[in-house]
Structure 1
């Protein structure tokens, strides 16, 4: 059996277990609703809820085991794929064929060819536009003064 077939079977088993767990959840919820409505004998209803809950816990344990096996199989398949690619590259290198060079700085090429940044606003105009911000910053950073010295009449903190 190949890894792909085994992975497919494990995924089908996990799906089946998950479906069965959801069905048990619905059955438990139905039993709780009928128990709270008072339609059935209390002891029998509680017994059925406990039985279904125990079955659900066992299925959840089984689902965890299947999930762990799926993860291990996926990791093994990924490692095998990496090993196959490495072996192919090593064989190409041993035969003297050129190996494709990967360029990890492709994202930088547009910025390298871009023209130099020039500010669109001259510095004098920029300072005139931002004079209010400068005054606000000075006001925030001013030292504490007496209320009668403060221009707005409030005590600075």
Structure 2
């Protein structure tokens, strides 16, 4: 069974559930009128509880069926759109020119002409580390005190 057949079956199932729910609604309405005109309260309440529980079950099943229908409709729509998307992607790829050069060629050339000096980099890093490892002197922490007097 393909998705379209399953979708049609689910639509029929949802329609049948909807009709069953409508019948229960009519049963509940008829029972409340019967109770209003003086029917047996115990029997009517039991009947209403039974119909209410059946109503809730059918509503739950209808919700599940509707969710499955939406999912199948999305899948069918995606299947139908897939060839168009593939064609558009193919046309887009054909229209895109192949880049004859790398966008970083200028950077590679610059690095080849002026390679970085490892010694300079190491010295700069050592200077940064020394600044970070500097032991704070007591006067470094008391700067705020002199400004408050």
Aligned-residue CA RMSD (Å): 1.9
- Structure 2 residue runs of 5 or longer lacking an equivalent are 95-149
Counterparts of residues 63-142 of structure 1 (less than 5 Å): 63-90=62-89
Q: Distance in 1 between matches of 2:77 and 2:55?
A: 32
In the alignment, structure 1 residue 4 sits paired with structure 2 residue 4:
yes
Q: Distance in 2 between matches of 1:16 and 1:10?
A: 10
Helix, strand or coil at the partner of 1:22: helix
Q: Distance in 2 between matches of 1:21 and 1:84?
A: 41
- Structure 1 residue runs of 5 or longer lacking an equivalent are 97-157
Greater helix share, structure number: 2
Which stretch of structure 1 is more off in the superposition, 23-32 or 81-90? 81-90
1:41 is aligned to: 40
1:53 is aligned to: 52
Q: Distance in 2 between matches of 1:14 and 1:82?
A: 26
Structure showing greater relative contact order (alpha-carbon pairs closer than 8 Å, 6 or more residues apart): 2
Stretches (4+) displaced over 2 A: 87-94
Higher Rg of the two aligned structures: 2
1:142 is aligned to: none
Q: TM-score, normalised by structure 1?
A: 0.56
Q: TM-score, normalised by structure 2?
A: 0.58
